[in-house]
Amino acid sequence: MSARFITFEGIDGAGKSTHIERVAQHLRAQGADLVQTREPGGTALAESLRGLFLHQDMDGLTEALLVFAARRDHLQRVIAPALALGQTVLCDRFTDASFAYQGGGRGMDWQVLSTLEQWVQQGRRPDLTFWFDVDPAIAAERRAQAREADRLEKLDLDFFERVRAAYQRRADEAPDRFARIDAGDSIEGVGRQVVAVLEQRGW
């Protein structure tokens, strides 16, 4: 199987992380050599920046600059080398999250984020993005049952409604790349949706 770059997106509590392993199992069965990673994170530097991002107060522009700095290191040290070796990369969040959280949630200018995307990625984009779409109220209930909230997860439902709308905008801008998953379905139902997308693409 040729190298693929697959990302997983959605508001906190959508359940995307649960299904990364499902995708990994499916692709390994097809003979893929996989690298699983996450953002912010994936390298020693990026993980350090993740800690700041999740726990230190800052404005939207600072958030974006911090995450794109982490992304640059992640691309150079992990993602690009893996793809060059023919490996498939599964990444929990990527640039769509920046447009959703800092663009939609924080109200940052879309064009500023687009410029950062161009500078940092130099044309590199995912081959497929799973968008786990769910009502923010349902996601909030799931988060409350699962873990202690970080500083972003503590924000109100209006914030997450804006994040969700920004994901929809990104999906509308790249319909061939995005696969919307109804994340309000059962775990089994979501898993079937994910596998169906892979099978439709012959993966």
Q: Which residues contact 118 (CB under 8 A, 6 or more apart)?
A: none
Residue 88: name the closest of 28, 47, 42 by CA: 28
Alpha helices per DSSP H over 30-156: 44-55, 60-74, 80-84, 95-98, 110-121, 136-146
Q: Is 107 annotated as a binding residue?
A: no
Torsional class of 143: left (φ above 0), alpha (ψ -120 to 50), beta (otherwise): alpha
CA distance 71 to 126: 13
14 is in an annotated binding site: yes
Phi, psi at residue 3, to the nearest 5°?
-65, 140
Per the annotation, does 60 bind a ligand?
no
At CA 67, angle to CA 12 and CA 135, rounded to 5?
20
**How far from 105 is each of 11, 25, 79, 122, 147, CA to CA, in Å?**
11, 33, 27, 25, 22
User: Is 15 annotated in some ligand binding site?
Assistant: yes
Q: CB 155: neighbour CB atoms within 10 A?
A: 17
44: annotated binding-site residue? no
Tell me: is residue 202 an annotated ligand-binding position. Answer: no
Q: Residue positions in the annotated binding site for ATP?
A: 10-17
**Residue ranges for the binding site?**
10-17
